[in-house]
Amino acid sequence: MPPKNPPEKSGIKERLLASIDLIDASQACVLLRIETKDPEGIIQAMVRDGAIIILMRNGRTMVPLFQFDAENGRVLDVVCDILRLRPARISNLRLCYWLTRSHVDFGCAPADQFGKEDAAILAAFRRYIEPERHG
């Protein structure tokens, strides 16, 4: 029986996670100005509500920093819009990969354009998730 996470796949995931600025649940709650004794529970509730993206790293819930408007203590609207559009087949890891890699439409990562090109990011994401149709 093959291993659950082949070494080459684990290496790719770790390299991707290492390339994204991540914070833990406590730090995310501070950023969102949420006072709680259960930051993990708050973040998990936000995930269930489709309001935030999380990733697991070494068994810990980690939150990509790119999705926050730190100045105003909130999750960016475009992130919530993307999460509403996202089909179930797109994992959080795959979504973060798409958001943090250079895109032809922007000449940079879509996440780098949050707050500037939100409509274009949503249009590009709609194209990305569109099912392939073969003639």
Give pLDDT tens digits along the chain (135 positions): 445 555 455 688 888 888 899 999 999 999 999 999 999 999 999 999 999 999 998 889 999 999 999 999 999 999 999 999 999 999 999 999 999 999 999 999 999 999 999 999 999 999 999 987 765
* Domain region containing 33: 7-129
Answer yes or no: is 1 within a domain: no
Token digits for 133? 């149709």
Answer yes or no: is 107 within a domain: yes
Answer yes or no: is 78 within a domain: yes
Token digits for 6? 């082949």
pLDDT, position 133: 74
Give the count of domains, the chain: 1
Q: 103 CB contacts (<8 Å, ≥6 apart)? A: 109, 110, 124
